[in-house]
Amino acid sequence: MFTIVSSLAPLTILVTCTAALVYIQSRFAECPEGTLVDQHQVFALADKFVATTASIVAASIGFAALAVSGIRPIREMGLWVAAGLLLTWIVIFTLFPALQKILATPVLRRRTTAGRRLLRLIDALPAFSYRWRWSCSRSPLC
């Protein structure tokens, strides 16, 4: 029987998995010049391992704690989400790196900076703001 819990469990797993994958991919994409991509991939995974693992394990334990609930759908949701999050952890640290390697995920070799127009705008904003700011003594609204 499908309940609201049937749709919440996969969604919860999906959100947690996506957040972890974005977290790891963002670190992987910033590959310094002169570093091999394979070495950097190992570094990126090791760098994000503890934070990602702690997040997923904490969420799994929290959802597994719902197993003591007397409400059957809540109990099942807790167990299914906890199991799904543990499976997510396995996928993140095995399948995702393999896909990065197979698909030759591109990396940035140097950090990009903001465009020249944006920098000029940022520099001009304070002067524009001060020039057009009214003091309360000159304003008819005060």
pLDDT computed for residue 122 by the predictor: 83
pLDDT of residue 51: 92
Give me the chain's average pLDDT, please. Answer: 84
User: Taking 90 as the threshold, does the pLDDT of residue 64 lie above it?
Assistant: yes
Q: Which residues contact 134 (CB under 8 A, 6 or more apart)?
A: none
C-alpha–C-alpha distance, residues 100 and 32, integer Å: 17
Q: What is the pLDDT of residues 65-116, one digit of tens each?
A: 999 988 888 888 889 999 999 999 999 999 999 998 899 888 876 666 666 7
